[in-house]
Amino acid sequence: MVMRQTIRWSMYAAMWLLMVGSAYATDAHTISGTVTEANGVPVTGVRVDFGGALPVAMTDEAGRYAVAGAVEGASYTIVPSKDGMSFSPTQRTVTMASGDEVVDFIAEMAVMPLPNLLLAPPTAASAPAKGKVTYPTLLYPLGGETWKQGGSYNIRWTYPLAGPMRISLRVGSLPVLAITNSTPNDGSFWWKVPATLAPGPNYRILVDEGYYGDLSGDVTIERAHLVTYPSNAGVSWQKGQSYKIQWQGFGGSHVKIQLYRAGSLNRLIAWAAPNCGSYWWKVPASQATGTNFKIKITGESKSVVYDFSDKNFTVFGTPKVTDPSLPGIVWPEQSGRVIKWQGFVASTVRIELLKSWAVMRVITPDTPNDGAFWWKMPYAPAGSDYRIRITATNDPNQHDHSNNNFTVEQIPRVLYPTGAGILWLRGQPQTIRWTGFPGDTVNIHLQRDYQIVTQIASGTPNDGKFIWQVPANQPRGRNYTVLVSRPQKVASADWSDNEFMIGDQPRVVVPSLSGIVWATETSEEIRWRDFPGAKVKIELLQYDSVYRVISAGTPNDGKFVWAVTDDKNKYSADHFRIKVSTLPGTQFSWSDKSNNYFSIHDM
Say if residue 191 is in the same domain as residue 267: no
Domain contains 21? no
Q: Tell which residue, 293, 350, 285, 367, has the closest CA to residue 318.
A: 285
Rounded CA separation 491/353 (Å): 29
Residue 35 has pLDDT above 50, yes or no: yes
CATH number of domain containing 544? 2.60.40.10
Cβ neighbourhood burial of 496 (10 Å; 0-12, 13-18, 19+): buried
For the chain, what is the domain count?
A: 6
Say if residue 431 is in the same domain as residue 517: no
State the sign of the Cα–Cα–Cα–Cα dihedral 15, 16, 18, 23: positive
Rounded CA separation 53/338 (Å): 27
Report pLDDT for 20.
Answer: 39
Cis peptide, bond prior to residue 332, ω within 30 of zero:
no
Q: Both ends of the chain: CA-CA distance in Å? A: 61
Q: How confident is the model at residue 39 (pLDDT cuts 50, 70, 90)?
A: low
CATH number of domain containing 262? 2.60.40.770
3-state class of 267 per DSSP? strand
Final residue in a domain of this structure, among 179, 195, 222: 222
Distance of CA 316 to the CA centre of its chain: 25
Rounded CA separation 449/579 (Å): 30
Domain contains 13? no
Rounded CA separation 381/568 (Å): 59
* Sequence-distant (≥ 6) Cβ neighbours of residue 586 within 8 angstroms: 420, 421, 532, 533
Final residue in a domain of this structure, among 452, 474, 503: 503
Report pLDDT for 353.
Answer: 97
Domain contains 470? yes
Report pLDDT for 360.
Answer: 94
Report pLDDT for 237.
Answer: 95
Say if residue 240 is in the same domain as residue 217: no
CATH number of domain containing 39? 2.60.40.4130
Residue ranges making up the domain that contains 448? 413-503
Residue 485 has pLDDT above 80, yes or no: yes
CATH number of domain containing 208? 2.60.40.2950
Q: Tell which residue, 136, 140, 141, 138, has the closest CA to residue 159.
A: 136
Residue 266 has pLDDT above 70, yes or no: yes
Q: What is the mean pLDDT of residues 85-107?
A: 89
Rounded CA separation 463/461 (Å): 6
Domain contains 450? yes
pLDDT in tens, 156-172: 999 988 889 999 999 87
Residue 31 has pLDDT above 90, yes or no: yes
Report pLDDT for 243.
Answer: 96
Residue 603 has pLDDT above 90, yes or no: no
Say if residue 403 is in the same domain as residue 417: no
Domain contains 17? no
Residue 589 has pLDDT above 90, yes or no: no
Instruction: Give the burial string for 500-510 (b: 16+ CB within 10 Å, else e).
Output: bbbbeebbbbe
Pair type for strands 348-355 and 413-416 = unpaired
Q: Bigger pLDDT: 148 or 271?
A: 271
Report pLDDT for 16.
Answer: 37
Number of helices and strands (H, E) in the chain? 1, 54
Q: Tell which residue, 346, 351, 269, has the closest CA to residue 314.
A: 346
Q: Tell which residue, 379, 381, 393, 576, has the closest CA to residue 497.
A: 379
Q: How confident is the model at residue 442 (pLDDT cuts 50, 70, 90)?
A: very high
Residue 130 has pLDDT above 80, yes or no: no
Say if residue 495 is in the same domain as residue 511: no
Report pLDDT for 18.
Answer: 37
Say if residue 589 is in the same domain as residue 511: yes
* Sequence-distant (≥ 6) Cβ neighbours of residue 425 within 8 angstroms: 470, 503, 504, 505
CATH number of domain containing 372? 2.60.40.1930
Residue 11 has pLDDT above 90, yes or no: no
Report pLDDT for 503.
Answer: 86
Report pLDDT for 571.
Answer: 57
Q: How confident is the model at residue 125 (pLDDT cuts 50, 70, 90)?
A: very low
3-state class of 236 per DSSP? strand
Report pLDDT for 120.
Answer: 32
Say if residue 493 is in the same domain as residue 456: yes
Say if residue 311 is in the same domain as residue 233: yes
Domain contains 116? no
Q: What is the DSSP letter of 48?
A: E
Domain contains 418? yes
* Sequence-distant (≥ 6) Cβ neighbours of residue 149 within 8 angstroms: 193, 194, 195, 196, 197, 199, 221, 222, 223, 224, 226
3-state class of 217 per DSSP? coil
Residue 419 has pLDDT above 60, yes or no: yes
Say if residue 426 is in the same domain as residue 492: yes
Give the number of other CB atoms < 10 A from CB of residue 592: 19
Say if residue 484 is in the same domain as residue 552: no
Residue 129 has pLDDT above 70, yes or no: no
Least-confidence region, from 327-341, 456-470, 503-517, 572-586: 572-586
Rounded CA separation 187/165 (Å): 9
Least-confidence region, from 109-118, 229-238, 334-343: 109-118
Rounded CA separation 237/179 (Å): 38
Q: What is the mean pLDDT of residues 390-411?
A: 93
Final residue in a domain of this structure, among 360, 382, 407: 407
Report pLDDT for 344.
Answer: 95
Give the number of other CB atoms < 10 A from CB of residue 279: 19
Q: What is the mean pLDDT of residues 389-410?
A: 93
Q: What is the mean pLDDT of residues 504-519?
A: 91
What mean pLDDT, rounded, does the chain reach? 85
Amino acid letter, 290: G
Report pLDDT for 131.
Answer: 44
3-state class of 40 per DSSP? coil
3-state class of 20 per DSSP? helix
What's this model's pTM, rounded to 2 decimal places?
0.45
Quick check: 316 and 394 in contact, CB under 8 A?
no
Q: How confident is the model at residue 251 (pLDDT cuts 50, 70, 90)?
A: confident
Q: What is the mean pLDDT of residues 35-46?
A: 80
Q: How confident is the model at residue 27 (pLDDT cuts 50, 70, 90)?
A: low
Residue 445 has pLDDT above 50, yes or no: yes
Domain contains 20? no
Rounded CA separation 229/277 (Å): 10
Q: What is the mean pLDDT of residues 373-402?
A: 93
Q: What is the mean pLDDT of residues 591-598?
A: 93
Report pLDDT for 78.
Answer: 95
Report pLDDT for 19.
Answer: 39
Report pLDDT for 7.
Answer: 31
Quick check: 319 and 312 in contact, CB under 8 A?
no
Amino acid letter, 75: S
Say if residue 256 is in the same domain as residue 304: yes
Residue 587 has pLDDT above 60, yes or no: yes
Say if residue 422 is in the same domain as residue 497: yes
Report pLDDT for 337.
Answer: 93
